[in-house]
Chains A and B, each alone.
Chain A
Amino acid sequence: GQQLNQSPQSMFIQEGEDVSMNCTSSSIFNTWLWYKQDPGEGPVLLIALYKAGELTSNGRLTAQFGITRKDSFLNISASIPSDVGIYFCAGQAGTSYGKLTFGQGTILTVHP
């Protein structure tokens, strides 16, 4: 089945720094999604990507759908303490209609 490798597993940064994380897949995906999960809550959708090469922003967040369709990247600029949480990538392959495959998550800690 599809597998997603998300990296890094965790990040410790200073407030104001930029953050980059990525996901790679063993197979081609038609859709990439990025979610953020706060403690005790469900994942919240941040950005959805539907086209290879697509670059989409949501405030300080920017995500890209890789050209090979096997990877995606999320960047957070000028991090703030409330960016703390777990970030998940998720992808949907054309052969798995309705099913999302999730990465293992990147734990982000922001020091004030």
Chain B
Amino acid sequence: DAGVIQSPRHEVTEMGQEVTLRCKPISGHNSLFWYRQTMMRGLELLIYFNNNVPIDDSGMPEDRFSAKMPNASFSTLKIQPSEPRDSAVYFCASSILAGGDEQYFGPGTRLTVT
């Protein structure tokens, strides 16, 4: 079975550019989560969706960050404009239960903003 799929795996961009990260959750999972991982702050939850509806976006750092889930099999996390401090690994995770506990992570996107 395919796990959570993320693309791209690596992204290098210049400050000020728009960045779009993509995620395909595990088929049949109802909840989708976006995380950011850095050495300093560890794993931080940015936003999560239940049945394609954003439930909690309190972790989104600022207005430059936005996330959408147009359907059950696709979500995007967009940063516009990007800044060097956004450099991190961004993970998408999904779970079968609405707001579920057992979250399954994708391989991540390593973002570098120069």
Interface residues of A (CB under 8 A from B): 31, 33, 35, 40-45, 48, 50, 88, 92, 97-100, 102-105
Quick one: which of B42, B91, B98 has the most chain A CB within 10 A?
A: B42
Contact of A98 with B48 at beta-carbon distance under 8 Å, contacts A41-B107, A104-B42, A105-B42 already known: yes
B13 at the A interface (CB under 8 A): no
In B29-56, the 8 Å CB interface with A consists of 31, 33, 42-43, 45, 48, 50, 55-56
In the complex the two chains form, is B42's CB within 8 Å of A48's CB?
A: no
A104 — nearest CB in chain B belongs to which residue?
B42
Identify whether the interface residues of A are mostly helix, strand, loop, or mixed: loop
In the complex the two chains form, is A33's CB within 8 Å of B56's CB?
A: no
Q: How far is the CA of A69 from the CA of B91 in the complex (A)?
A: 28
Identify whether the interface residues of B are mostly helix, strand, loop, or mixed: strand
Q: Which of B56, B91, B99 contacts A42 (CB 8 A)?
A: B91
Q: Which of B31, B42, B91 contacts A98 (CB 8 A)?
A: B31
**Size bracket, chain B contacts:** 20 to 34
Chain A proximity of B90: nearest CB distance (Å) = 10
Q: How far is the CA of A92 from the CA of B98 in the complex (A)?
A: 14
28 A-B pairs within 8 Å (CB atoms) are namely A31-B101, A33-B101, A35-B105, A40-B107, A40-B108, A41-B108, A42-B91, A42-B93, A42-B107, A43-B43, A44-B105, A45-B102, A45-B103, A48-B102, A50-B101, A88-B43, A97-B99, A98-B48, A98-B50, A98-B55, A98-B56, A98-B98, A99-B48, A99-B56, A100-B101, A102-B42, A104-B42, A105-B42
